[in-house]
Chains A and B, each alone.
Chain A
Amino acid sequence: MALEKLILFLADDDEDDRLMFQEAIDEVKIQTELITFHNGKALMDALAKKDCRQPHMIFLDLNMPVKNGMQCLKEIKMMPALADLPIAIYSTSSSEEDIDATFHHGANIYINKPNTFGQLKQVVEKVLQLNWQYQTSNLNRDTFLFRI
């Protein structure tokens, strides 16, 4: 069950954060294609399109204008076609309340945005490895929960 490429979506309103993320992902060995969105609404519009390529994982920033990450998470989990899609929250918030709330509503991974590029690379690599295993191994999706 080899996957050729992981397709990833990232919604983040901060342009620099999007760029850093792209650079980090380019340096990781796993083959990926990253598609970025500048807010939650742009992401949800893309997912709602019929011919939208389905990603293997979505990264959501929490604080975004127009539509925030929490709203996106809830909407995605309500869409039958996407309900099983792994969701990683990618946020600067380390409030336990935010973390618990995203997990309760079905997020799989909570990532605290790291401060350095080196740390970001490590974090991205770990998340992709985990997601890769969940795509190709016999692991329980309903307990796919990590905090990084």
Chain B
Amino acid sequence: MKLYLKYDHAKTYKALLTEQFEALALGFTLHGLGEVELSKPLSSVERESLTKALQRYGIEIIADQKTALVQRIKEAIHEMLHDEQANLLKVSAYLADKLAYSYAYLSTIFSEATYMSIENFVILKKVDRVKSLMANTDLTLTEIAFKLNYSSVAHLSGQFKKTTGLTPSAFQKIIARRKSLNLNTL
């Protein structure tokens, strides 16, 4: 049989890091957004065991500051899109406030590292969320548009089509068909 799982990214992340840091007896505070503050500096042995422990989960300690900042921008966007109130703010104001850098600086660093503008990344993330809600919940497109603060279903559909090249209904058909193919091979 097959089970379909849905998980809370933030919770998984928190629980996993807490476990790993406690296992190595390291004093720490989680700041969210991929940032951990340690109560004292790491010895090289500790750094090595921590790197190894986190590697198994696909988590990497970022050495270079710019990459770290890009990762924090991505995490902040992720949080913003999941927070129904923050969702109403402008991305530029939200990021500048959250990360304490000017938006111009953040946007330059981001495009240099990811080859994509912050604006396009936000659209990609939003559409990704729409896709995930369509694939894993019974919400209608209208409900999804409302939940994610789109001004209308037409706006959502338009952005979806422009970003993915597929209409929401074509997407839904593919997902349904894939699920049934998977079920049939059992």
Contact = CB atoms under 8 A, between A and B. Distances in A.
B131 interface: yes
A143 B132 contact: yes
A36 B127 CA distance: 32
B114 A145 contact: no
Contact of B174 (A1, A100, A128): A100
B5 to A, nearest CB: 11
A138 B12 CA distance: 13
Given A100-B174, A132-B115, A145 B62 contact: no
Interface residues of A, number: 26
Interface stretch (B45-53, B86-94, B145-153, B175-183): B175-183
Nearest to A28: B115
Nearest to A139: B128
Most chain B CB atoms below 10 A, which of A137, A138, A143, A145? A143
Given A1-B67, A100-B174, A145 B166 contact: yes
Nearest to B133: A143
Given A138-B9, A139-B124, A142-B135, A104 B174 contact: yes
B113 A2 contact: yes
A28 to B, nearest CB: 8
Nearest to B129: A140
B28 to A, nearest CB: 21
Contact of B171 (A138, A139, A145): A145
Contacts of B177: 100, 103-104
A92 interface: no
Given A1-B60, A145-B171, 7 more contacts: A1-B62, A129-B114, A133-B124, A143-B134, A146-B164, A146-B166, A147-B165
27 contacts: A1-B62, A1-B67, A2-B67, A30-B115, A100-B174, A100-B177, A104-B174, A104-B177, A104-B181, A105-B181, A128-B115, A129-B115, A129-B116, A136-B114, A137-B74, A138-B75, A139-B124, A139-B128, A140-B128, A142-B135, A143-B128, A143-B134, A145-B131, A145-B174, A146-B165, A146-B166, A147-B166
